[in-house]
Each structure stands twice: as structure tokens, then as C-alpha cells.
Structure 1
Amino acid sequence: MIATRLLLLAPLMRLVLLSVAGLVLFMGMVLVALQPETGWNWSPEYWRPLEKIHPAIWASLCTGLLAWLISSWVWALKPMNLPAILFAASGVATLAFCFSSFAPWISLPMTEKTVASIWAVNMLGASAFGIIMTCLFLVYPSRQTHWKPLSALTVFGFGGWTLLRTFGPFQDFAEVQRITTFEMLAIVGAVIWQVRSSASDPRKQAIAIWLGASTLLGAGAFIATVAAPLTLGFGPLMLENYAFSFFLIIYIGLAVGLMRYRLFDLGSWAYRLVFYASAALALILLDIALVSLFTFDPGQALGLSLLFVAFAYLPMRDILWRRIVQRRPANDDDLFHLVLDAALKPTEQERAAGWKALLYNHFHPLELTEAEATIAEPIIGNEGISLSIPGIAGVPSLQLMHANNGRALFTPRDAAVVTHLVQLMQHAETSRSAYDRGVSAERLRIARDIHDNIGAQLMRALHSAKTDRKDAMIRDTLADLRDVINNAQSPILPMDEILADLRAETAERLEPHSISLRWNLQADAGIQLAPSTVHALRSLVREAASNTIKHAGATRLDVRLRITPNQVEVEVEDDGSGFDIATVKLGQGLANMKARVEGIGGAFKLVRGTSGAQLEAYFPHEAPAS
């Protein structure tokens, strides 16, 4: 009835009620410990002073209370969960054997029957803890095959053994040490079974390793320091009540594991706990063996044990740690080279394949698939099973499953590495895109120059009747072609010389087609033109002359130039057939001219002249006035 009412309450209320109940029991046991030798007395003036209370009493009481509070907290949040129920029951068992363990230090007079009852509670609580923990590891994190008959065998086997030695003619309270030792072996077997059976599920394996490490460290330390020595006929290494504090390790570890808080970080922690706990246990067991089997005094035995652990166990532990758990982290240089190798692939498909290969080779996932939704930053999912990767390099968002070939979980450190990789890839992609744009611009420049300049030069040579003149023009064309390919930058040249050559060249091209040239130049004296300005001007006039020859049907071409120290203004007009401004489409030549002029910060306009076509261009130049 009480349990049913608790289930109907909110989690906070359940936790408050259970905590209050534990504190009431705690205060009741404190009151018992304070009672004087003369018998029960409610007056504080007759109680024993606190400094007279044996420290073992406080150790037992605090351990029992904390175990109760932690197990109550877990059960209050998951009251219908079988592992949480078993965990809460283990807290009750711990409270029972802790609160009943300090009878020898109580001054209150007790009958022999009362003492026997107290020891019976202690024995039942200690044995119940081992039974419950064995059953817990049969069902959590995975329910093992035949867990029900195995749980029944554990309950009736160890339970019957405990009842037989607690009550009746075979009563022997000292037998509890042997019972708990064998229960510990059963717990170890269940933990190993859980770890092996969950090998295909990294999340469950991490839970099993963490819980197993916590239990083996806590209960194992108590067995090694108290139960095992007593079972073997030796004295305990420390007072039993002090050794109870080891059980707090179990409850803290199990609480974390059962609530599944940040489990993707727990795998490596569990291994560290196991290694360090085994080092401590090896030290203790070796010390016991040296004292028991050889004629060493405790000081000598401890020294030899420390030497063994330092020179044999610890190096072996580090080797195992590196081989089993740790993955060699890639440094920034390695990552940068891998990213560059992927980002500089020639095609988008190859870059996408390179990015996937980079992720696979770094994380070794069992699965690499496209994510269901687009994400903007790395996300760890399913408590470390999956890691979602933002889209990059033409690849959609990806999802990695089961890190390190299924032997590990993804951690926040992995998410940070992904963020770093994405940033490197974005930087490499930006640099490659800029390089590709530069290559495209250079190709376009070469194509324009070939079309505008080389084509005009060849046409000029084609229509030349004089062989020697034709050869000279072909040589000039080859020189221009080398300049186009190499983007050669000649020295700044005098304006008069350049424009005179351009005028003569244009007139020579127009003459075979019966087209006259009218050349009008307005320029400040002493201006020198930079190669880029010369190139743009020459290309513009040459292409305009080519269009007039091929399309205009004109008899005259007017070229008007106005050159100032800061700007070049060009107007070219013919008296041909013209065109409709509203419907005309720019051919490759006109489009090249427009792109070239606008590319150097100028403006290009095509208009209908008084009789034919007219183009206007304005662009700056780099040459200062001398």
C-alpha cells in the first residue's frame, strides 16, 4: 500500500519522502549510539559526549545514509525500471548492514538475543547486497539469456546458504565473509558476461564497463581488505566499518551509469578506474601474500609490493592502455595534409570521396551514411553511438555510427575534431575556389586576346599583297601571341609611338576593303601608357575595325581618342548599315570588349550613330604624366 502511494507521487515528492525516512533512521541510530551504559535515557545530559563515540560508528552511519539517498534518488526518477528497482534494493541492503555493524561500540546494555538479532540483520543485509548486485548485472545493461532462471538460482542459492547460517542449528555469523566472497565472484562473472555480450553495441558496452568497474572497485576493495583475509584465516587489513566507505564508490558510479549521464565519456574513465583499482588490489594482495607465506614483516612486505607494482604492473598497464583503449590522435599537420589532399581533388565527385575517406580513416566508423536532415555543427547522438557531420565540399550532412570499428563511443573531443576539420576544409575550399577563379579569368583573358588581337593581326596579314610586309606582320603576330600566353609586361611606353603604330596598323587593315580612316587624337603632352592600358586600347580599336570590315558595309571609320593623365576615352563610329539598338545582341567580339573595359574599372556603351554604329568606352590607366 505504501509503495503504491509512493508510485502515484511526483518524482520530487518520492525523493523527499524517502530522504526524510533515511534521515529519521540515521537520527535514530545516532540516538542509540549516544545512549549511556546505564540504559536508555531521553535526557541529553546523560548521553555520551560526541568525542566518546567511536569513529567506526560515524563511518558506518554515513556510508549507509549516502547509499540510501543515492539509491532513493535513482528509484524516485525511474520507479518502474527493473534495474533502478534492484539498485534501490541494494541501497536498502547497504543501509541494513552498515547500520547494524557497530554493535560492539554501543554502550547501551543489550541482551544476547538483541545482539544476535543485530548480527542477523547485518548478515542478511550483506548477503542481500551480493544477491541483488548479481541479479542487476544479469539484466542491465542487457538482459542476458536465461536471466530469470539464473536470477532465481542466485536468490535461492545464496539466499538459502545465508538463511541456513543465520538461523537454526547451523547458525554462524562469521560465515557472512565467505558468502560475500563467493557472491563477489558471481558479480565478476556477471560483469564479464555483460561486457562480452555487448561487444556489438558500444553504448551498452560502455555502460557495462563503467558499472562493472565501479562495482569491482567498491565491493572488490572491501572483499580484498576484509572478507577475503578473514575467509583465508587472516586478520582484516582495516576495520570493517571503515572499509564500508568503499561501497560509496559503487553507488556514485551506478547512479551515474543508471541515469546514463554523458556515457560517451565513461568508456575511457571506466578503463582507468579498472587499471588503477587493479593496481591497488594487486598491491594489497601481494602484501598479504608476502606477509603470510614468507617471513617478512609488514614494512618489508609493503616495500617489495611497491617495487613490484612500480616496475612490473604499471609499465604493463600503460602498454595495455595504449593498445586497447587509446587511439593515436592525429596532429594538426596530419589533419591539414589530409584535408588539402581531399580539397584539391580536380572534380567535385573526387573531393566528396576524399572528404568521406578522410572521415572514415580518422574515426573508423562501422557505418557512414547521409544524415536525414541538414545540420550546421557536429552533433553527438544516441549517447555516443552516432556523430553527425555538417555538409561540406559538395557532400551533404553525414552521420557516422559506432566509432573505432564499434569498439568506442564518440566523445566531445571527436566533435571538436570535426569542427576543426570542417574549418580546415572550408578554408581549403575557399582557397581552391579562388585559385579556380584565377585560372578561369586567365583563360578568359587569353581567349579574348587571341580573338581581339591575334585574329585582327592575322586578318591584316591575310589581306596584305606584299610578301615581305606579310612576313613582318606574321612575325609581329607571333610576338603578340607570346605576350598573350605569358601575359608579358613591357616597360611603360611613350604614347605618341604607340598610337602612331596603332593608327598605321588600322589604316592598313581598312585599306583593302575601301574603308577610309579618320583618326582624331586629343592628348596632353608627355603622357606615357602602362602595358595594361596599351593592351586594352589596342584590343578595343582592333576589334572595332574587325567588326566594321566584316559586318558594317561602311566606307569610313572614325576613331576619336581623348587621353588625359587619368583616363582614356575612345569613340569609334562607322557610316555603315547600323543596327537596331533594341534588338541587337552582343557577339563574342563586342562582349569581349565590354568585359575587358569593365574589368579594368571602365564603362562600355554601344549606341546608334548618325548613320551607322558607334561604341564608346572610358577606362582609367596607370601611366602618370611625365
Structure 2
Amino acid sequence: MTRLTSTPTLSARVDGEPALLSTRPRQLGDLPFPFWMHLLIGGINFVMAAGVLAYRPADPAARHYALFGAGVLLTPYTATIYLTRELLIDGALLHALSTLNHLFLCLTVAALVALMSTYPGRLGARLPALAYTAGMLAWLGQFTRAFAAPNAVYLITLSFFALGLGLAYPQWQRTRGHPVERAALRWFLLSLLLGTGLFAALVALPLAFDQPPPVDQTWLTPLFLLVPAGIALGIVRYRLFELDRWWRSVWTWFFGGVAVMALDLTLLTLFDLTRLGAITLSLALLGWLYFPARQWLWARWLGGPPAAERHTWLRELSAAANPAELRARWLAALHARYAPLESRHDPGTETLIETPSPGARIEDDGLTLRVPDPLSTHDVLLRHADGGARLFGTADAADADTLAGLARLLREAMHERDQAVADERQRIRRDLHDDLGAKLLALLYRVDVGNQPLVRSAIRDSHEILAALDAEPLPLADAVAQWRAEAQERAITHGFQLDWRAHRIDEPTDDGNAVLDARQHTNLARIVREAISNAVRHAGARHVAIDITRDGYRLGLNAAPADWRNGGGTRQIAQRAEELGGEAAWEPADGGTRLRVSVPLQRSTARGHDALP
């Protein structure tokens, strides 16, 4: 070597042709691009690691990361000196650089294992020391030729990488129930292990099986840039909350590629196949076994398609009969989608329902999802998704906006339907008032006095129909007063004694007074009327007792005593009570039978928004 390097020129043959080569030490300008590229990549890793150490000097994880960054700087730097030589390099220098390269490589992978054992939590006080000790013993084994195999350094690299990857599992278990720490761990694993793992899979794995890497390792060194880039992006939280959506996809893609390479290398190594034969058999196994198995695992790992879930949302929300039920189903869909540990309304964000919604927003570093309620004037706050197992992400906000949009569209459809029904009712009311009402009034003054009560009853019925068509809610107290006035008028006309009692009818509650809609008002009025008619006309009762009691938002009506006659009237009473969601029953009583009717009532105001139902 000394004689060759001391000669100013050397005779050689290049492509079969004689040529003279000049010999001189390399100058700074002679260093090729790969040398500077390796130096730059290692420097970026080291600066990032040193910055983390400067920010948290007492943190053991920061110290291990700093050693890892130093190893990423020094390992490729020592290797690139002899890998980028043009022709010759001094043997002693080559041996020293190779020895240092192996030392720094062992330091790097040992620091990786130590880092995985301390971040985000310490798995054991002795694990970092054991990792560095094992790394130094591995280097001494190579230095003393105890490990004589040429691929020993790559087997050591793969072993340490597998150990570091294995430590990710207990770290993962440790962060269960802590979504912020789990998100940080996901980002850390993705940036650290993916950057080093790609290099291990594409360089160390083939060389460990005495196979050439698919790409020159000089050009795979930029993969280490994934480490500082990932750490930096994780620090500023860029796309941090979107990680949960594609975290599994990235790792499935990575390990799928590793499995393909491992299959090809196994066929080449174990079965002594030619490269063409190994590729052919590998493609057959991939097509018949690997890809079907991967698709099955992919479906199990990543879950079903979101389109099916959205179809379920639409079906459930569309089944609502009114805005109150629609809102209850919307809240149930939110709970089914996110399974939050806590959900409540935020009374400090009151807005008009007609105001355009700003959309769902992520708050508290992903712990909270704020969803504008499309059916009220407040926001819904959901906290700790999936029982606290994960953070909310941008995909969650998009799904919440989809759910809110569906509820808003259905609310608008209900409003349009109600408006159309109201318009049709108004038309029918106008026709009844102008035509039927005028004719009944004219008939009242033309019939004899004995038939006038019948005409007046028809006019009263027409007024009730017109009132029902107005569809305006009526306070319960006003409705009871109307029923009592009619009952007293009939008592005077038919000559029976009326005992009318009403209890707690106008008693207010915390969430509003009871009201009757048009359908309830009409049906209850006719139940009272039919009860009096059956008692007086059919049973011949001279005394009728009506007792109306309100118990919260339930109305009870008792009529007694009388000898009730089964027929069309009793069937109508039962049908009208059932139509209102209540029930009617006849029970034995002193001197006859007692009618008991119980129906639910409405509230005049909505519930407060302090808590979700």
C-alpha cells in the first residue's frame, strides 16, 4: 500500500483499455456528495437530540435520546469515509474506521433499547444499564473476533431493534387509560422505530442472510431523517390528533413489506433456490396465501367501512317521529360513536338554532370534542373518547359534523312537513267554518225548539273540530275549565247533579306547566262528554262525580257512580285513551262502576341543558 500510494501515477486498465491514474491524498473538494449527505443527516439527528437534552437535562429518556443522536451522527460518518473512497485507502485506517463504526453502531442500538425502556415511563431501573452493557459486549465480541461471522454486526443490529420493538408493548400497556400519553407514545414509536426500522429491514435484514440489499445503503441513510422530523412534528403537535386514524395503516404497511422480504430471503437461504425460482415461488405464495390473509387481518385490524356506520346513523335518525325524539336519537348516536366517559351541555355557548354552525372542534389537546347541538341552542361537550382509551381526532370531528348535518336536515324536513300539515289544516278549517258552520247556524233558527239542543251539540262539535285544526297547545287549567263549563251546562239541561273536583291542575313544576295539544284536548273532552252521556242516558244516573287529578305529567280522570253499559261509547273511551298513550278501565264501586282514565301530558318548556339524559 505504501509503494502504491507513493507512486505519482499508476498503470491500470479501465473497461479493458490501458489508463494512467494519478495518486494523491483527497482534498476537501474531492469528497463526494454521499459524504456530505451522511454528515448532514447525522448532524440533524444530533442537533435535535441535543436540543431535547438541553430542554430536559435531568430526564433519563432525554439522555438516552442524546446518545442515540450521537450514534446516528458518528456511525454513518465513520462509514462514509471508506465507503466513498475512489480507489485505495490505508488498511490501518480502514480497520480503525470499521472498528469505530461498529462501536458507534452498538452504542446507537443500545441507546434505542434504553430509550424504549424509559419513555414514556420507566419499565425498570436496570434495563438501560443492561442495554448498554449488552451493546459493549457485542462490540467486544466483534473486536476480539469472538463473533467471526461477517454478518454478525447485522444480526446484532436486528436483535437490538427487535428488543426495542418488544419494549413498545409494555409501554403501550402502561398508557392504557391515559389518552394523551398514548398519543405521544404513538407518535414517538412511529417516528423513531419507523425511521430505524426501514433501514434495518432494507439493509440489515438482507445482509444478515448474506444477501445484497435491494438498494445501496448509502442512499438509504436519509431514512434516519424520519426520526428528527417525527420528533419535531410531534413537539408542535402537527397532525398529532390525526395519527390515530392512520397509525395502524402505517404499521400494517411496514410489517407487510418486511414479511414479503423475509419470505423471499427464507426461500433463498433454506431451499437453495435460484433468485428467479425464489421470486416465482414467492409471488405464488404471496398471491395465494399472504394477500388473502393480509386482507382478512386488515379488516379485523382497521375495522369496517365508515359508509355502513353512516347508513346506520341515517336509518336511526330517520325513524324519529318528532324533534324531541330526533334529538334523543342524535345524542344516542354520539354516545354510540365515541363512547365518552363524560358528556354534558355547555350553557355558556348559547346561539340561535338558525345560526350557521361553526362545526365540531377539538379542545384540551384532544380530550374534549365540542359539538354544536343542531336541535338546541347549546354545545355538547364529549370528553375521553372510547372510555378514555384514546384522544379525539379530526376524523371524529368530521363524523360529528356529519351526524349534526343529518339531524339538521331531518329537523328541517320535519319543519317543512309540519308547515304543510298546518297549511292543509288551515284550508280545511276555513272550508268548515265558511260552509258547514254557516249551514248549521241557519239550521238552528229553522228547526223547532225540541231539536235545537241537537243542532247546538253539532255546532259545539264543529267548534271543537275547528279548535283541533288550529293545533295550538292549550294549558291544562284552561282545558279543564272548558270541560267543567260544558258539564255544568249539560247538568242544568238534563237535570242531574254534578260533583266536579280538580286537584293540582295549575300547579307549576321546575321544568314548565302541563299543556294539551289539539289531539289531546279533543280526545279528553270527548272522553269526559261520553262518560257523562253514558252515565245519564244509559244508566239513568241522577248524580255524576267527575274527579280530575294531575300527578306530575300524568292526568287521571275518574267518573262514578253509574251502571255502565258496554257499547260504542265505552269502546270509544278506551280507544281515545289508548291513542293518547294512556289507558281506560272500569272498576267496581259503591252503587255501580267507576271509570278510571290515565294519560300522559306534555311540558310547555324543554328540559334544562345541565346534563344529557
TM-score (norm 1): 0.58
CA 475–217 in structure 1, closer or farther in 2 if over 3 Å, else same: closer
2-structure distance, mates of 1:326, 1:116: 53
What residue number does 1:569 align with? none
Distance 2:313 2:158 in 1: 51
Deviation at 1:97, TM superposition (A): 0.6
Q: Distance in 1 between matches of 2:448 and 2:214?
A: 117
| Correspondence list, 1:130-279, <5 A | 130-140=109-119, 142-146=120-124, 148-162=125-139, 164-165=140-141, 175-232=152-209, 238-279=215-256
Q: Does the 8 A contact of 2:110 with 2:134 survive in 1? A: no
- Contact map agreement 1:93 1:129 (CA 8 A) in 2: yes
Q: Residue 82 and residue 436 in structure 1: after superposition, are their counterparts in 2 closer, same or farther (change >3 A)?
A: farther
Aligned to 1:398: 380
The residue aligned with 1:115 is 94
Other-structure match for 1:90: 68
Q: 1:298 to 1:415 in 2, by over 3 A?
A: same
On the 8 A contact 2:188/2:231 being kept in 1, the answer is yes
Larger radius of gyration: 1
CA distance in structure 2 between the aligned counterparts of 1:223 and 1:423, rounded to whole angstroms: 47
Secondary structure of the 1:139 match is coil
For the pair 1:38 / 2:24, whether they are aligned, the reply is: yes
**What residue number does 2:306 align with?**
329
- The one-character-per-residue Cα deviations of 1:71-92 (angstroms, maximum 9, x if unpaired) are 4676677777654554343222
**1:294 maps to what in 2?**
271
**Residues 471, 325 of structure 1: alpha-carbon distance in 2 compared, 3 angstrom cutoff:** same
SS at match of 1:399: strand
Contact 2:326 2:407 in 1 (8 A): no
- Determine the structure 2 residue equivalent to 1:128: 107
Deviations 1:432-490 (Å, cap 9, x if unpaired)? 456667878999999999999999999998899934773895597489569848979xx
State yes or no: 1:415 paired with 2:427.
no
Query: Cα offset for 1:282?
Result: 1.6
C-alpha distance in structure 2 between counterparts of 1:315 and 1:404, whole Å: 30
Residues 1:459 and 1:275: Cα distance change in structure 2 (over 3 Å): closer
CA deviation after TM superposition for structure 1 residue 94, in Å:
0.8
Q: Which moved more, 1:81-90 or 1:119-128?
A: 81-90
Contact kept, 8 Å, 2:116 with 2:168, in 1: the verdict is yes
Task: Provide the residue aligned with 1:320 in structure 2.
Answer: 297
Tell me the equivalent position of 2:407: 425
Structure 1, residues 17-52: CA drift from partner, whole Å, max 9, x if none? xxxxxxxxxxxxxxxxxxx8423657xxxx64x7xx
Does the 8 A contact of 1:222 with 1:244 survive in 2? yes
Change (3 A) 1:362 1:167: closer
Contact 1:74/1:255 (<8 A) preserved: no
Q: Please identify, of 181-190 and 80-89, the stretch whose mean Cα deviation from structure 2 is larger.
A: 80-89
Cα distance in 2 for residues equivalent to 1:185 and 1:333:
43
Contact 1:386–1:401 (Cα < 8 Å) also in 2:
yes
Aligned match of 1:99: 77
Runs of 5+ unmatched residues, structure 2: 1-21, 351-357, 471-613
Distance 1:388 1:119 in 2: 57
Q: Secondary structure at the match of 1:368?
A: strand
2:3 aligned partner: none
| 1:18-33 equivalences in 2 (<5 Å) | none
1:219 partner amino acid:
T
Q: What is the letter of the counterpart of residue 386 of structure 1?
A: T
Distance 1:132 1:458, change over 3 A: same
Cα distance change of structure 1 residues 169 and 442 upon mapping to structure 2, 3 Å threshold: closer
* 1:361 to partner: Cα distance: 2.2
SS of equivalent to 2:95: helix
Q: Which residue of 1 aligns with 2:284?
A: 307
Which of 333, 341, 345 aligns to 1:358? It is 333
Q: Is the 8 A contact 2:347 2:378 kept in 1?
A: no
Structure 1: segments with no counterpart, 5+ residues: 1-35, 489-626
For residue 87 of structure 1, give the secondary structure of its aligned residue in structure 2. helix
Q: State how far apart, in whole Å, the 2-side matches of 1:383 and 1:314 are.
A: 38
Once the two structures are TM-superposed, the CA of residue 134 in structure 1 deviates from its matched residue by 1.5
Which residue is 1:623 aligned to? Answer: none
SS in 2 for 1:189: helix
Shift of 1:191: 1.6
TM-score between both structures, scaled by the size of structure 2: 0.59
For residues 201 and 446 of structure 2, what CA distance do their matches in structure 1 show? 109
1:381 is the counterpart of 2:324: no
Q: Secondary structure, in 3 states, of the residue corresponding to 2:117?
A: helix
Q: Distance in 1 between matches of 2:136 and 2:274?
A: 40
Does the Cα contact within 8 Å between 1:218 and 1:248 map onto a contact in 2?
yes
Aligned residues of 1:374 and 1:391 also touching (Cα < 8 A): no
Distance 1:254 1:311 in 2: 39
Q: Contact between 2:157 and 2:204, CA under 8 Å: does it hold in 1?
A: yes
Q: How has the CA–CA distance of structure 1 residues 401 and 300 changed in structure 2, closer, same or farther, with 3 Å as cutoff?
A: farther
SS across alignment from 1:102: helix
